């Protein structure tokens, strides 16, 4: 039985990073991708967010250095929910963690 992905609010953005390993402190190294013109960037991001929510993910930490703003968490997509081998992402959540901000 699949359980829904649960995070500190609503997942709204992702940025792929190199694999983190299993122990903190995590070394965050973003993966650079060139955006094609086939789809607008907003549509690509929405598809990534839907993919992560469907596959399932866990929040590794909400302690993200300010240099990666506006991202506020590190997540790992459940490998059982995807064929993709790139499982670690910077994530931006809004909602519960943004209250009063």
In a domain, 2, yes or no: no
Which whole-number Å values give the CA distances from 29 to 2, 3, 71, 72, 100, in the listed order? 30, 29, 13, 15, 30
Domains in the chain, number? 1
The predicted model gives 75-99 an average pLDDT of: 81
Full residue range of the structural domain in which residue 61 is found: 10-98
62 burial via Cβ count (<10 Å: 0-12, 13-18, 19+)? middle
Cα radius of gyration rounded to whole Å, the chain: 13
Is residue 62 in a domain? yes
User: Is 45 part of a structural domain of the chain?
Assistant: yes
Classify residue 21: in a domain, yes or no.
Answer: yes
**Does some domain include residue 3?**
no
**Three-class DSSP category at 96:** helix
Q: pTM score, two decimals?
A: 0.80
For residue 32, the model assigns a pLDDT of: 84
| Contact in structure between 87 and 56 (CB atoms under 8 Å) | no
What are the strands of the beta sheet with 73-77, ordered from one edge? 10-16, 88-94, 73-77, 57-61
57-61 and 73-77 beta bridge pairing: antiparallel
Look at residue 36 and give its three-state secondary structure: coil
Is 70 within the bounds of a domain? yes
Q: Is residue 59 part of a domain?
A: yes
Each residue's pLDDT tens digit, 22-59: 887 888 999 987 766 688 888 989 999 999 999 999 99
């Amino acid at each position: 039985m699949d359980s829904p992905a649960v995070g500190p609010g609503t997942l709204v953005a992702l940025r792929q990073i190199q694999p983190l390993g299993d122990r903190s402190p995590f070394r965050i190294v973003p993966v650079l991708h060139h955006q094609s013109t086939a789809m607008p960037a907003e549509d690509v991001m929405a598809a990534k967010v839907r993919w992560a929510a469907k596959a399932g993910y866990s929040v590794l930490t909400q302690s993200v250095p300010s240099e990666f703003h506006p991202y506020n968490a590190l997540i790992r997509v459940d490998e059982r929910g995807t064929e993709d081998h790139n499982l670690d992402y910077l994530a931006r959540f809004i909602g519960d963690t943004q209250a009063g901000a």
